[in-house]
Amino acid sequence: MVSELDGRRKLYRVNPSHPLTSDLTSIVRKVSGIDALVDRIAGRLPGLEQVWVCGDLAQGLQSEHIECILVGEALDREYIEQLCNRVEELTEKTVQATVSAELPKEQMGQCLLVWAQETSEK
């Protein structure tokens, strides 16, 4: 974990360089219901590059809401809405998905990367 001060609050987030980061991310996904969202969207959405979870879940807090940012080019917003509705049924949580070409800089320290497109290096 790494921490930073935000006024009088101390915010904690996963240290991406720690060797257990992928394990911790997996645990958060399973406990929060994020795994259902990621599995539904990632495999069926051409152009998707990253999935970021924001809000309480990214801070490690229990929540009835899933806030996420889907990063990619020319993503089908209507299809994303259908998938989010299905995830809401499966998890009994409300889903707010934002589509963006890149993660907004002001969100950088407040979100947790839960999925990224694998790149093939030659």
Pairing of strands 2-6, 48-54: unpaired
The per-residue pLDDT for 90 is 77
The per-residue pLDDT for 122 is 46
pLDDT digits (tens, 9 = 90+) for 19-57: 877 776 666 666 555 666 676 667 778 889 998 989 988
- Domain chopping of the chain, boundaries: 2-116
Give the architecture-level CATH label for domain 2-116.
2-Layer Sandwich (3.30)
Q: What is the pTM of this model?
A: 0.67
* d(C-alpha 61, C-alpha 32), whole Å: 9
